[in-house]
Structure 1
Amino acid sequence: MAATATVSVLTICFLVHILAGLDPRDFYWQSPSAQTLDVGNTFKVDCHTGLLGSGMVFWYKRQHRQQLQLIYSVLEYTIPAGRFSGQVNDKSTIYSMFINKVQRNDSGWYFCSARKYGGMPLVFGNGSKLVVTGSPLAIVLTPPPDEIRGMETVQLICLAQDAASGYPSIRWNVSGRDMEGWEDSGTIDQDGSHVVISHITVPVKSWRVSSCELRTNSTHTFTSNNVVVQRGASPWDTCISLRFVGFPVAIILLALVLVVVYKRCRKWDNQHGNDDFTDARTGRAENECAYAGLRFNAARLNDRRR
């Protein structure tokens, strides 16, 4: 009986030891869950692992739907590598990673991973999001003018780049009216910038000019470019334009043609009229000379007869 009791106690102790090494959670807790920093600041992220038999935590980065990339490993005595460094608290339950002088391309998701004991599978953290912001940029996107002509309503899109937690609200100014659209949760672009998209639908008839604003409060705003509506002319507008612009132009052109034709006709008449007058005068002079010769000969003939 004593031997059986001893085996049972040893079995229970062994099972307790094994179960103590198994973490009931499916992931490690990370903090902070999200952080927004300006370029040049320092990013710190913690992985709450509890006691680790391996004493090592791996840090991975995922950016713009890419695969996880191992970027750094934190040990109890970690050597800095470039802008990366690590730290372990006194109880060896929190493994921290630091990134100094963050850049735009440091934006992304960071995950820690560790084995409770050697040979056990890796357990990952729940992830921490880093957004590194620069100068905000907002652009209003609209459909092509050819498509707007046949629409009753048009959807406008405000593309806000680097609009992180410092710009929690995107407002619209449509033809002088302050309006609110609907926004997505935001994504991280390939260059590491945080992008938020706001949508709004407005009637085409009442839309003249539009812009979007990134607002933090009543005194701090960032305004996008103004987009002015470019509507194409309708067939009726074309007819009106031809009637009030084309007809006067045609009349003026016709008058100019008539003036040119009149001047050319006058010039032709003057040239040919002078030639006929000269010929007439020349013929008259010749006739007068002939008549004078005849009169002179007749006079001489009479004198002889006498």
Structure 2
Amino acid sequence: MNTCENRVVIITGAGGGLGRSYALAFAEAGAKVLVNDINREAADAVVAQIVVQGGSAVANSDDITCYEAAAGILRQALECFGDLHVLVNNAGICRDRMFSSLSEADWDQVVTVHLKGHFCIASHAARYWRDRSKAGIVVSGRIINTSSGAGLQGSIGQSNYAAAKGGIASLTLVQAAELQRYGVTVNALAPAARTGMTEQVFADVMKKPEAGFDHFAPENVAPLVVWLGSEASAAVSGQMFEVEGGKLSIAVGWRHGPEQIKQKRWEVDEIGNAVSQLLEQLAPAEKVYGS
């Protein structure tokens, strides 16, 4: 079923893992796909597979963390396919350390690839769609960001990764609110799947079974991503989707909780009792992964 017939899709980090599964699924759904990956050989291999199967794709290895290079990714999509409809921000890395052992380089690399990488190319895409909308052209744009359970609940040994992914969750909310006027929806994923990153940390848990349903196969996430990139998802924006195996859910975002109100300033010696009462009324948060 060609749910994305002739839609133009950019996918970052699409040389393997989740990104590769998205690229293949979008192509199968009729989309024209720009496969971005810093590893050009990996990107070329995915493009070759799509082309052999009758699809349309081009490879790109520009650096998503460089603002000017990210402009080149969009420019190539426009030159090759004439438009842009979907941006899937998927590329990422891990540099796991306990916080007390985390180096500045570990912090900078992860935050740059995840958070700045999401910003750079999305900035160019948003400006493209805004200008088209202002010119009277009907826009059907989609940004699909990638957060993580680590960004939603935290994860021991991943403070840099969790901070970046939490930032992406917040970024998604703002992008969705600001870009709706231009015909653009923005949603995010918190997927659990076997990838180059997760295999390093959860190798035993995510090991491919010898038979039966492969719960952590990255292909399990792809149908949601294709649907979010299609015309059918136009009414859905600002949501965080958690997907794992055959489970699909929408995460509950930040909400105002219990409150106590006075008509004057709180005194220091009143705070402890008030906080105790608020905590008694508060639904417990999910535990930090690994705690």
TM-score norm. by structure 2 comes to: 0.22
Structure with a larger share of its residues in helix: 2
